[in-house]
Amino acid sequence: MRKFPVVRFIIFIIIIVLVEYYALVSIRTSIKDVKPLYKNLIMGSYILLTVAWVAVFFSFAHFRNSATAKPIMNFGMVFFMAFFVFKVTMASFMLIDDVRRVILYIYGLFSGVQSAVDKGAKVITRSAFLRQIGLILGGTLFGSFFYGMTNRHKYKVKKESLNFSNLPQAFDGLKVVQISDIHSGSFTNKAGVQRGIDMINELQPDLVLFTGDLVNSKSDEMLGYINIFKQISATIGVYSIFGNHDYGDYHQWKTPEEKVANLEELKQIHKALGWNLLLDENVMIERAGEVINIIGVENISASFQSYGSLANAYQGAESAPFKILMSHDPSHWDKEVIKDFNDIDLTLSGHTHGFQFGIDIPWIKWSPAKFIYKQWAGLYQKENQYIYVNRGFGFLGYPGRVGILPEITLLELNRA
């Protein structure tokens, strides 16, 4: 039996207590000049919300596997995350103000100059300013989490046109649609999902390539959506791979055999969808006597468990003049692809979801994902090799999207 991580738990509790303390102080000081009746109403509401927040946290373990409770739990998840971010934001600005005060106090001790901390009105103004910024920013983030729930199925088609001198003439203008990270276990709205499938088919793709994470953990999460996703069609075909969630590593199975059976069932679901699942293998695509190669590797990651072997998947593809690699985790590109397989022209990945949070407009592309992954959304190039990272079709954990919308990628490949 794995030992309970006591030290981590203690650190977690300390952080929570500090966040709660600073958030409470921020609220109290911000309303100190409010009439007593309104002050009591605000403080009472804040305490009730905090009690609800704790109750939601403890309810996750009880209801997490309940399909009927999923819509309610999705709302609870948003409330939990939004309120926590609200608290952390306020606490952060209060902490910044305390650090500022300490620095000024120490400066005053050593310089012999009266510290700004002692100058009353000016300090109060700065502190009040920081508190107001914390409240405004925290409130904005709080509201954005709920707004993000409306974006769960607001699919965005991202188009890229790529030129390659070694692309065979018969494939000039090839339309490749990439989807990734479906996470069917998170869905509650079949009509919303259907709109995404219709958008894929309206693009009339030659190839559809799915780059992993069909489910959250269990194959039966897909059962209610097979008839929807099997509608995806492409003139050449649909090809797919596994992502890190497809292996069932994040579910507590009763026996190892049960986990193996789940993976086998997932393979059969790919087959039922009419998708060609590539597990460390490749396939030659022929058109008018010319060929390109599609390589599909099992999950290889710099930080998650790896199952695949690109060396095995690559065997037999050496002679193809043009190669597309499907690899779920974009960290694989730096880890191995550009180092040892520099004749792979285009790599398609997903995995990051763009963190489901950020700014994604023509002149600004930012997300916390950039601090974890060098390639986290969109197109990247190194010399003659490209990688495209899809922002994900579905969602996981937080049931929404703030700034980073669910994506359907259309790549048009042209002969230069």
Ordered DSSP codes for 149-205:
GGGTT--EEEEEEEEETTS-GGGTTEEEEEE----GGG---HHHHHHHHHHHHHT--
List the structure tokens of 192.
Answer: 């919303």
Do 289 and 320 contact (CB within 8 A), yes or no? no
237: left (phi over 0), alpha (psi -120 to 50) or beta: left
Phi, psi of 172 (to 5 degrees): -60, 125
Residues 200/208, Cβ–Cβ less than 8 Å: yes
Residue 209's SS3 state is strand
8 Å CB contact between 377 and 367: yes
CATH of range 154-415; options 3.60.21.10, 2.40.160.100, 2.40.50.140, 3.30.70.920? 3.60.21.10
Q: What is the pTM of this model?
A: 0.83
AA letter at 110? F
**pLDDT for the residue 1:** 39
Whole-number pLDDT of residue 294: 98
Contact predicate 406/148, CB 8 Å: no
Long-range contacts of residues 364-372, Cβ cutoff 8 Å, at least 24 apart = 367/403, 367/404
* CA distance between the termini of the chain: 59
Rounded to whole angstroms, the Cα distance separating 220 from 201 reads: 25
Domain ranges in the chain are 6-149, 154-415
Which segments of 278-329 are extended strands (E)?
A: 281-287, 290-296, 323-326
Burial 157-178 (b: 16+ CB within 10 A, else e): ebeeebebeebbebbeebbbbb
Low-confidence residues of the chain, pLDDT below 70?
1-5, 60-71, 112-127
Nearest to 298 by CA among 249, 342, 365: 249
The three-state secondary structure class of 278 is coil
Per-residue pLDDT tens digits for 57-69:
777 666 665 555 5
pLDDT digits (tens, 9 = 90+) for 223-264: 999 999 999 999 999 999 999 999 999 999 999 999 999 999
